[in-house]
Amino acid sequence: GDVGAGEQVFNANCAACHAGGQNVIMPEKTLEKAALEQYLAGGRNEKAVITQVTNGKNAMPAFGGRLSDEDIANVASYVIATSEAGWD
């Protein structure tokens, strides 16, 4: 996916709960590398992010039907790339 386009999707749809790669609702479930490796169902990879964003999980809403498949793929690329680079 397109990381730059994904950053715009993230800022518009995810940052309310995940600003700076954090998590305001479940503080341990951040978007940082170690947390994704520990908590994300399916591991720290784009496919697993796509699944969670499409379907939602617990207090995280589902974005399937609200975002296009392309937007979801792009935001997943942005999340994985930024978890690798560091959110700071």
Residues that bind ligand HEM (CB under 6 A): 13-14, 16-18, 23, 25-26, 29-31, 35-36, 39-40, 49, 52-53, 57-61, 63, 75, 79
Report d(CA 58, CA 7) in Å as an integer: 24
Residue 80 contacts residue 44 (beta carbons within 8 Å): yes
Q: How far apart are CA 12 and CA 46, in angstroms?
A: 19
Least gap, CB of 4 to ligand HEM (angstroms): 15
Residue with tokens 């690798």: 84
Distance between CA atoms of residues 19 and 40, nearest Å:
18
